[in-house]
Amino acid sequence: MELQQEWSKALPATTLRNLSSSSSAFFSANQSPFFSPRSPTLQGPELNRLDTENTSNGSFSNLDLNGSQIAVGRPESSSDIGFVSARISPPPVGTFGDFQKPDLHEHMKLGKSHGKFSLARNSATYSSSRLRSYDVYIGLHGRKPSLLRFANWLRAELEVQGISCFASDRARCRNSRSHDTVEKAMNSCTFGVLILTKRSFGNPYSVEELRNFLAKKNLLPIYFDMGPDDCLSRDIIEMRGELWEKVGGELWMLYGGLEKEWKEAVDGLSRMDEGKLETQDGNWRDCITKAVVLLATKLGRRSVVERVSRWKERVEKEEFPFLRNENFMGRKKELSELELMLFGNVSGDAEKEYFELKTRQRRKNLVLGRSENKKIEERVKDRQTESSSSKGKEPVIWRESDKEIEMQKVESPHMQHQALGLKNGGRYRRRKRSVKILYGKGIACVSGDSGIGKTELLLEFAYRFSQRYKMVLWIGGESRYLRQNYLNLWPFLEVDVGIENQYLQRGKTKSFEEQEEAAISRVRKELMRDIPFLVVIDNLESEKDWWDKKILMDLLPRFGGETHFIISTRLPRLMNLESLKLSYLSGVEAMSLMKGIREYPVSELDALGVIEEKLGRLTLGLGIVGAILSELPINPTRLLDTVNRMPLRDFIWSSKEAPTLRQNTFLLQLLEVCFSIFDHADGPRSLATRMAQVSGWFGPGAIPVSLLAQAANKVPRKHQGTTKVWKMCLHALTCGLMQSHDKRSEVEAASMLVRFGIARSRINEDLIQFHDIVKLYSCKRGVPVVAQAVVQAVSYRGFTSLHLEHLWAACFLVFGFGKNSVVVELNVSDLLVLVKRVVLPLAIHTFITFSRCNAALELLRVCTDALEAAEDSLVSRVEKWLNKPYCWGSAKSDAQLNPYLWQELAMLRAAVLETRAKLMLKGGHYDIADDLIRKTVHIRSSIYGENHPDTISARETQSKITRLLTNKQGS
């Protein structure tokens, strides 16, 4: 049998005996996978020697346990957990190597690096007599990447909850001292968690662990890719069932003990009535959560159970931005390729089509892993040769084992770029940045035109594979909001990115740049732990941040860790990575998307074919057509005729705006038909139409329905009428929607937008989101006062931390930033409301809570300029009015008739200046702060006088700043 042959090679003959004795010694060619808690620091040549050994062989050093060095792994726990446990790390994809080199936990202060794995800079001098006890012992056997990934996640999750763990694959211990120490640690643990695979029953150490914890009645078995019903000793010995027909038989012989003892261990496992967990590919998250709750309950950690329950409730509400599309179709190849790019292999139904995936470019420098069964390897090659016939392309070279097929690329993209650029004296300069798709590195990029279905693909992938991650984190990739969206992850990662108590380091004040980097670093470090997250960056607009032009990689951690990243973008290439270019749906899929479950005669199918061709098979347009056909009693022929007769508006497009709208006039006409349907159903004051119009001026995220309706109600009445011909045509279309012209409710209007495919609802029913194409079209279609209506609605709604992107969008419209022009000019009264209720709270919240220092200060600066301009304009108008001949009948503005308006404006400017001064102190800019506070004192003393509380407070702040400035100049 394969399993027996494997073990007979791995274990010397002297080990095939009873292992129940604590004095048994076992030897293996692999390294010890466990770690010592609390270790002193290595120095000098010993550290250099360890560095060299670990760098060269990619695994732990061969370390002796009595008085010698042991690699230390970092726990993935919070700062109050003062222990270091075993680290189980998956080998590189495509190889079954040893455990990876560990990082150190930052709270242990042992020199943690920024990489995924690195040699521990502080190794241990360890004595077995100092062995501490642990809450949980995690035992496993095997090198399958999915098994190691699961075990890593389980260990890290337990440690985060404050449950100390010791994890080990005893078959990989190097010497007898290692075995003795692991055995002592195992015996000292309160509970034992054994991750059982079919190979565990042929592993003598796993069977011994099984007997040990069964005898103590503190065992929690986790069946990995099998179930409790599969673990019957009779079936295993008699090779019954698909699971055991190849690797079953006399596995008790590999145990090295007696058949009776082996049967007792397996039968004892099958007789367990409770405390058993089963994990398959689709329930990893649930299994780990149940394991944590079960262990915490047995350990009496009630707070852990409550914390996990709260987490589950939050994930259910906030994990996904949209409901799953039940009508999702096609994209099977793209979903399989995304799985391949992230995990390095595929599973489930996609495995059947595995060999159909081809490389996109000629692929070199691929290594073929040595397989034990060369016949299998030759069969794989023959199958690839038959399926690859296109010239200039080369099939991927795979390695195949019993359970998985993998591929690994060995040359870095950077080296390939250099070689490509030097070839023929730079002749291939345009191809210098082209690189290969990286498989198994945890990063995937999906590119395609706007409206082609990138978000739908990412959403479907996230739903399908969500159980492989602790949580799906969805980030909007718009350049102005990307950094804020990234820092918004802090509640889910449970880190503090605020600036309080963080701006002092060793007695010196950090600069604003250092504080911002520290906040980003905290999020980045949490994503580098062994707990896997799926981070989706949707609609990335640029590789560089809009605020400071830093590249995207400054935000993200290094790839190759447990956390995976999927990025969708319209950019042709991103971060020197080859993208998965999303193509249009096939003709059959496009037709199904439009007609749904309805059946049409051939003539109507021909009309749908014409619509499909005119839309360019754009997924967004096809979805809107399908929605119209399902909502209205209209056939495809009449819809095609209606769209063709719709007059096209004369828009002026800039070169930067979506080419999809500029080049697809039929899509513009289709959107106009939708708006006309809303207008005819509800009259010229259609709330649905106005809600769609104002959507283009909000931020990129989901919009609260109430805020959207509030802005829509501020849009003036529509004046243009509808011709008699169009009234008759639209009446035929909307006869099923006709109601009285009474205003529909907000919910009904939002529902209509969702049903017709103009918007989509979020998990929270009070929020809806519009596609970028719809928002751009709405901006072009709407009148200029629409943007002002949005700003007014946001101003009177006031500050709310739940929808920061819409507050920022209003500020962009009013103030403009950098070279952007001002879109909305507010009168003095509206400007005062915006500054009081939005700008000041937003700036302070952005600065203190998210450490976005420069963005907050820039907002206050442009706000100060706007207030000064408004104040100057107000004064000049008053002076002009006073210079006119005195006449009681002369027209006067509100500002001229209100003597307190200028005073209120000046005092608000003083408040903004004082806020800027206080924030400048956080970054050590005492000279700028001193200048700002002096202006504040001057304004308040001029209006309120010297003894007013606000003036006194400003002078106290001035004294503090002056003292700090003097100390800085004197040092």
Distance CA 179, CA 199 (A): 20
Of 93-97, 545-549, 556-560, 624-628, the range with the lowest mean pLDDT is 93-97
Q: Mind listing the pLDDT tens digit for each residue in 349-377? A: 555 444 444 434 433 333 333 333 444 34
Q: What 3-state class would DSSP assign to 442?
A: coil
Q: Mind listing the pLDDT tens digit for each residue in 866-901? A: 999 998 887 776 666 555 554 444 444 544 546 678
pLDDT value of residue 715:
85
Distance CA 515, CA 498 (A): 9
Q: Mind listing the pLDDT tens digit for each residue in 209-239? A: 999 999 999 999 999 999 998 888 888 888 8
Residue 539 — pLDDT band, cuts 50, 70, 90?
Answer: very high
Strand (E) or helix (H) holding 159: helix 145-160
**Taking a C-beta distance cutoff of 8 angstroms, is the pair 405, 354 a contact?**
yes
Q: Mind listing the pLDDT tens digit for each residue in 774-807? A: 998 888 877 778 999 999 999 999 898 888 999 9
Q: What 3-state class would DSSP assign to 192?
A: strand
Residue 852 — pLDDT band, cuts 50, 70, 90?
Answer: very high
Mean pLDDT of 249-259: 83
Task: List all residues 6 or more positions away from 66 whose beta carbon is below 8 Å from its beta carbon.
Answer: 126, 127, 128, 177
Distance CA 192, CA 165 (A): 10
Distance CA 72, CA 121 (A): 9
Which of 766, 695, 772 shows the shortest CA–CA distance to 476? 772
Q: What 3-state class would DSSP assign to 399?
A: strand
Report the half-sphere exposure of 339 (CA within 13 A, side-chain side): 27
Distance CA 277, CA 286 (A): 10
What is the second-level CATH architecture of the domain 136-316?
3-Layer(aba) Sandwich (3.40)
Strand (E) or helix (H) holding 772: helix 772-781
Residue reference for tokens 């937003």: 842
Alpha helix locations (H) across 687-745? 687-695, 705-712, 724-733
Strand (E) or helix (H) holding 379: helix 374-387
**Taking a C-beta distance cutoff of 8 angstroms, is the pair 319, 472 a contact?**
yes
Strand (E) or helix (H) holding 474: strand 471-476
Distance CA 661, CA 649 (A): 12
pLDDT value of residue 869:
92
Compute the radius of gyration of the chain from its Cα atoms: 33
Number of residues written out for the chain? 971
Distance CA 698, CA 705 (A): 12
Task: List all residues 6 or more positions away from 304 whose beta carbon is below 8 Å from its beta carbon.
Answer: 161, 162, 163, 292, 293, 296
Q: What 3-state class would DSSP assign to 248?
A: coil
**Taking a C-beta distance cutoff of 8 angstroms, is the pair 412, 435 a contact?**
no
Listing DSSP states for 289-307 in one string gives HHHHHHHHHHHT-HHHHHH
Residue 461 neighbours by CB distance under 10 Å: 22
Residue 647 — pLDDT band, cuts 50, 70, 90?
Answer: confident
**Taking a C-beta distance cutoff of 8 angstroms, is the pair 561, 596 a contact?**
no
- The distance of Cα 955 from the centroid of its chain, to the nearest Å, equals 46
Of 30-44, 281-295, 326-340, 854-868, the range with the lowest mean pLDDT is 30-44
Distance CA 189, CA 931 (A): 63
DSSP state of 924: T
**Taking a C-beta distance cutoff of 8 angstroms, is the pair 546, 427 a contact?**
no
Characterise 217 by phi-psi region: left (phi > 0), alpha (psi -120 to 50), beta (else). Answer: left
pLDDT value of residue 248:
86
**Taking a C-beta distance cutoff of 8 angstroms, is the pair 813, 823 a contact?**
yes
Q: What 3-state class would DSSP assign to 535?
A: strand
Distance CA 255, CA 367 (A): 35
Task: Name the more confident of 469 and 898.
Answer: 469
Which residue type occupies 154?
L
pLDDT value of residue 638:
93
Distance CA 633, CA 30 (A): 71
Distance CA 93, CA 619 (A): 35
DSSP state of 256: T
**Taking a C-beta distance cutoff of 8 angstroms, is the pair 596, 630 a contact?**
yes
Residue 500 neighbours by CB distance under 10 Å: 10
Paired tokens of 612: 């499909």
What is the second-level CATH architecture of the domain 443-581?
3-Layer(aba) Sandwich (3.40)
Which whole-number Å values give the CA distances from 804 to 204, 701, 767, in the listed order? Answer: 58, 9, 14
Residue 85 — pLDDT band, cuts 50, 70, 90?
Answer: very low
Distance CA 938, CA 940 (A): 6
